[in-house]
Amino acid sequence: MRRIGILTSGGDAPGMNACIRAAVRTALANDLAVIGIRRGYTGLIAGDAVPLDRRAIRNTIHLGGTILETSRNPDFYTREGRLRAAASIERMGLDGIVLIGGEGTFHGASLLAADADTAALVGVPGSIDNDVYGTDYCIGFDTAANCAVEAIDRIRDTARSHERLFFIEVMGRTAGFLALESGIAGGAEELVIPEEEVSIARISERIREGFTIGKKSAIVVVAEGKTPGVSFEIAREVSERLNFESRVVVLGHLQRGGPPTLRDRVLGSLLGVAAVEALTEGRSGCMVGEVGGDLACTPFEDTWQKKKPLDEKLRRIFPFLSE
Ligand code: F6P
């Protein structure tokens, strides 16, 4: 292993820069040359790369987003696109690549490895959705969840002042990790997550009960699921049933930006080092993650084919904490 590349792909996540920084420092400490591939798989196909030295990563640990930029590139899901990427990898003289991203990134990496005898590929989970199998937490989740909690706290102030019902929609795609943890931490009254059937009757009844026993506000945290904006419809149905006005706030991309929290900087650093060490140990076709406090290397196929379950302990406590 002499020369490696690093790329970020899919949705950006706070802490990705901490991971890039750690990977570069580890590469340099192991006498590896290192380059940054710009804009994820788009840059990999095009061979769009920048040198990554100590200077390039200086003062980046506190920055959100990704200094390498990112993309979601449908061309990588064609064999032709992947063969072009394999040719670029050869031209760039790469022996290994660190890929920081989510399920889609690792799906793409599995396909690339099947199509071409190319550089060694090691992944690092970076996604605010936290839906990647093979790690307890993904880089970016903690920052996004803290952003959602801060929004819930702010909305609680105005909800309480007006005795209002609010629906707050959080990201997370088809997983309820962000909704569940921010719902618990924000003291939400109800939760809508993709892992459970939505019950307008149940939500309405619990909100009615809450106001009856003297609550001054109600907040329902809604996971966007497959249909961002879904909270407007849910709010309309609950409001009609209760004959009670409500407001909707969709947090959207606010949750993806901002400086990474301590947890995301530390996780990004830990996994950035682990990824480069995995490459120097001769590993390929797997994602490094942290499971139960230990480092783990999970085959790419498992990271996107296996469904990561929500934490059952948290699911169990939500209903009675929200009474
Ligand atoms: O996967 C991260 C994520 O932020 C999801 O939570 C969200 O559904 C999606 O990306 C939004 O994607 P885009 O930035 O392409 O609109």
Q: Is residue 197 part of a domain?
A: yes
179 to 50, 140, 167, 271: CA distances (angstroms) = 37, 14, 12, 25
Query: Looking at the structure, do residues 52 and 81 belong to the same domain, yes or no?
Result: yes
Tens digits of pLDDT across the chain (323 residues) = 999 999 999 999 999 999 999 999 999 999 999 999 999 999 999 999 999 999 999 999 999 999 999 999 999 999 999 999 999 999 999 999 999 999 999 999 999 999 999 999 999 999 999 999 999 999 999 999 999 999 999 999 999 999 999 999 999 999 999 999 999 999 999 999 999 999 999 999 999 999 999 999 999 999 999 999 999 999 999 999 999 999 999 999 999 999 999 999 999 999 999 999 999 999 999 999 999 999 999 999 999 999 999 999 999 999 989 88
Cβ 145 under 6 angstroms from ligand 1: no
State the complex-level ipTM.
0.98
Catalytic positions, please? 129
Cβ 128 under 6 angstroms from ligand 1: yes
Biggest CA–CA distance in the chain, Å, is 69
Which atom of ligand 1 is found nearest the CA of 228? 8
Query: Looking at the structure, do residues 22 and 118 belong to the same domain, yes or no?
Result: yes
Cβ 140 under 6 angstroms from ligand 1: no
Q: How far is the CA of 53 from the centre of ligand 1 (A)?
A: 30
CB 204 within 8 A of CB 197: no
Q: How far is the CA of 307 from the centre of ligand 1 (A)?
A: 18
CB 93 within 8 A of CB 35: no
Cβ 256 under 6 angstroms from ligand 1: yes
pTM of the model: 0.97
Give the domain extent around 174.
141-256
| Of 144, 109, 139, residue with least CA distance to 271 | 139
Q: Which CATH number is 289's domain given?
A: 3.40.50.450
Q: How far is the CA of 268 from the centre of ligand 1 (A)?
A: 20
Which atom of ligand 1 is found nearest the CA of 11? 2
Cβ 127 under 6 angstroms from ligand 1: yes
Q: Is residue 318 part of a domain?
A: no
**Domain tally, the chain:** 2
Q: Is residue 29 part of a domain?
A: yes
Look at ligand 1, atom 12, and give the residue with the nearest C-alpha: 11
- The structure tokens listed for 103 are 């399920």
Cβ 173 under 6 angstroms from ligand 1: yes
Burial degree of 81 (CB within 10 A; 0-12, 13-18, 19+): buried
Query: Looking at the structure, do residues 72 and 167 belong to the same domain, yes or no?
Result: no
Query: Looking at the structure, do residues 154 and 134 belong to the same domain, yes or no?
Result: no
- The structure tokens listed for 263 are 């947890």
